[in-house]
Structure 1
Amino acid sequence: MTSIDRSRSTFSPAAPAARPPVEKAALGPLGKVVEAVKDSFLDIPSNIQMGLDVFQSAHLKELERLFGKDSKPDRMFDGQLVGTQGQTFPPDTPLNRIPGVTPRDNPEPKETILYVNGIMTPVEGQLREMQSIADTSGAKVLGIHNATQGLTADLAQCVTDKLDKGTNPAVDTLADTLYAELKAGRDVSVMGYSQGGLITARALSDVQNRLRVEDGLSQADTEKLMSHLKVETFGAASTRYPDGPQYVHYINEADAVPTLTGLGGSVDPLAFFKDAGKGAVVYRFTDGNFNPISNHMLDTLYMSHRVPFEQARTGRF
């Protein structure tokens, strides 16, 4: 496996609340240090407020179903295909019949991206992320919905996904879709975020097994066919990806999800257990503050580091 690792420090703390200016010119060296420490403490309330604002805007309704309360409406869409305005379609709907989310400045993009969301995200939350992806990539975006059943159930499902046990409708839909598109001779672009990256890895393994077992392809022919898949992950929770697809993995080293449950940071004593996929490009960067939620956000953080796929594959970030 070859990989291109890049690390750069872009530490960007949340903008602090307005404070009266301090005349620092008259301060000595020790005074300036004391003032800097004091400023860092004064920033804490704004960081906390930022976390509350982000959490409220994205997941406030999910707090009410922490243990699965009222999650039935979203479960109805588990594994469904998602199009513009949050419309949902059965998993076997041909992709060319689904009106996707398009960039605000381009209603007729040439490329289509399949997007799988992470935990604690109802359809309306995935739709917002799809718009961000469309605006950033310039592509039409179709969603495969990973429904939420509350925090505890979602985390439990992550465990079973890691163990490749149990059923997950989003895994089934993505695997069926990718298999059908490859067999039809079409290239496919996929994005997986957080648990969506774990779902993507599991679905790709399923596709690989079908090609090997059901179609009787050799490992080399399987990888050649799967090379028509362009796969991007962002803050993903998977540690292993099957060989074949073209991969770009984005990992914020200030994000606990990929560093603790995914491919890991630049320094990782368990790296020998992990596999980004043959030829994968792994882009590690550091961006964020003391807010673990904002450090993991797709639209406000990861998308700001995303570059066009072919550019990323050459390591130019």
Structure 2
Amino acid sequence: MTSIDRSRSSFSPAATPARQLVEKTALGPIGKVVDAVKGAIQDIPSNIQMGLDVFEAAHLKELEKLFGKDSKPDRMFDGQLVGTQGQTFAPGTPLGQVPGVTPRDNPNPKETILYVNGIMTPVEGQLREMQSIADTSGAKVLGIHNATQGLTVDLAQCVTDKLDKGANPAVDTLADTLYSELKAGRDVSVMGYSQGGLITARALFDVQNRLRVEDGMSQADTEKLMGHLKVETFGAASTRYPDGPKYVHYINEADAVPTLTGLGGSLDPLAFIKDAGKGAVVHRFTDGNLNPISNHMLDTLYMNHRVPFDEARAGRF
């Protein structure tokens, strides 16, 4: 969250008419709204005027982010594979050709994890989360990027993902990757965080459908093949997962995302309509404070509760 720029004085001299004209021309739509409000109250006491200056300095960029301004650069990477140093690779690139993020104390890990990020996370943000996962798990981490287009658009996409409607490049890339790896006889480990967990669930249902419809496999054979998938979710927004993969779901009961939009907390009146997947381990814990954002963080909260996959499957948290 952007903080107030304290180096900027609230007692700046009034702009000249020529300067005002240039500044108004350069303002975006949100800036014009703020400017219009300021203009309408020029005659009110100066302390309120100074308050508006502080609001403009501190929050204009945050408002622009809210509605997706300047998100075009990140959209370029939607659905791409992400490797070390934030390098991106086209969907379909063999995983062995993507240099992953490795633990700081082990440049040659044996395991590889595919990671799908949540909302409001550009590539550089996903890269930081990938490093946290690598250091915690001891595995090499490859990202599948879920691009951000601002909070409002990201949330709208979450709704369409829950309805299994609309295109989402991250869903397509993950589904294609998992399908190809399974057909090649390889095991795959996947992590999905927040919306990334929802994307993971949607991709898994896509893979299940391909195996059943396109390949004509029985339900039993489909589940057996999908049993080669290890899936971990953290604060995920999905309420349903297909049978077959081996699951571990982490839910912080102080986190509104999974408790209200995902598999729910320990006391959930809607639990009967939710499905964590056959044989899934759901680890619920309570950690955090009154800050809903910090209670949902992957690197500073959920990774503190993550244990090795086999231990988690055995219930040893």
TM class by shorter chain equals 0.7 to 0.9
Residues 55-204 of structure 1: pairs in structure 2 closer than 5 A: 64-204=64-204
**Judging changes above 3 Å, is the alpha-carbon distance between structure 1 residues 221 and 66 closer, same or farther for their aligned structure 2 residues?**
same
Supply the distance in 1 between the matched residues of 2:250 and 2:192 (Cα, whole angstroms). 10
- Decide whether the 8 Å contact of 1:100 with 1:141 is kept in 2: yes
What letter is aligned with 2:172?
Answer: D
Residues 230-269 of structure 1: pairs in structure 2 closer than 5 A: 230-269=230-269
Supply the distance in 2 between the matched residues of 1:168 and 1:286 (Cα, whole angstroms). 32
Supply the distance in 2 between the matched residues of 1:100 and 1:138 (Cα, whole angstroms). 12
> Unaligned regions of 5+ residues in structure 1, if any?
1-55
**Judging changes above 3 Å, is the alpha-carbon distance between structure 1 residues 63 and 311 closer, same or farther for their aligned structure 2 residues?**
farther
SS state at 1:265 partner: coil
TM (norm. structure 2) is 0.81
**Judging changes above 3 Å, is the alpha-carbon distance between structure 1 residues 90 and 204 closer, same or farther for their aligned structure 2 residues?**
same
Supply the distance in 2 between the matched residues of 1:245 and 1:77 (Cα, whole angstroms). 28
Tell me, yes or no, if structure 1 residue 286 matches structure 2 residue 308: no
Give the match for residue 210 of structure 1.
210
Q: Percent identity?
A: 91
Cα RMSD between the aligned structures?
Answer: 1.2
Q: CA deviation at 1:196?
A: 0.1
Q: CA deviation at 1:62?
A: 6.4
SS state at 1:142 partner: strand
Q: CA deviation at 1:247?
A: 0.1
Give the match for residue 219 of structure 2.
219
**Judging changes above 3 Å, is the alpha-carbon distance between structure 1 residues 86 and 208 closer, same or farther for their aligned structure 2 residues?**
same
Supply the distance in 1 between the matched residues of 2:144 and 2:123 (Cα, whole angstroms). 10
Q: CA deviation at 1:212?
A: 0.1
Query: Could you give the per-residue CA deviations for residues 56-94 of structure 1, whole angstroms, max 9, x where no partner exists?
Result: 9xxx97653211111100000000000000000000100
SS state at 1:113 partner: strand
**Judging changes above 3 Å, is the alpha-carbon distance between structure 1 residues 260 and 304 closer, same or farther for their aligned structure 2 residues?**
same
Supply the distance in 2 between the matched residues of 1:183 and 1:63 (Cα, whole angstroms). 45
Structure ranking higher on relative contact order (CA contacts 8 Å, 6+ apart): 1
Q: CA deviation at 1:141?
A: 0.1
What letter is aligned with 1:177?
Answer: T
SS state at 2:106 partner: coil
Supply the distance in 2 between the matched residues of 1:63 and 1:276 (Cα, whole angstroms). 36
Larger Rg: 2
SS state at 1:279 partner: coil
Supply the distance in 2 between the matched residues of 1:215 and 1:193 (Cα, whole angstroms). 30
- Decide whether the 8 Å contact of 1:120 with 1:154 is kept in 2: yes
SS state at 2:121 partner: coil
What letter is aligned with 2:151?
Answer: L
Give the match for residue 277 of structure 1.
277
Supply the distance in 2 between the matched residues of 1:288 and 1:94 (Cα, whole angstroms). 39
Supply the distance in 1 between the matched residues of 2:165 and 2:241 (Cα, whole angstroms). 16
- Decide whether the 8 Å contact of 1:236 with 1:262 is kept in 2: yes
**Judging changes above 3 Å, is the alpha-carbon distance between structure 1 residues 63 and 82 closer, same or farther for their aligned structure 2 residues?**
farther
Supply the distance in 1 between the matched residues of 2:200 and 2:61 (Cα, whole angstroms). 26
- Decide whether the 8 Å contact of 1:62 with 1:120 is kept in 2: no
TM (norm. structure 1) is 0.81
What letter is aligned with 1:104?
Answer: R
SS state at 1:65 partner: helix
SS state at 1:148 partner: coil
Supply the distance in 2 between the matched residues of 1:150 and 1:288 (Cα, whole angstroms). 26
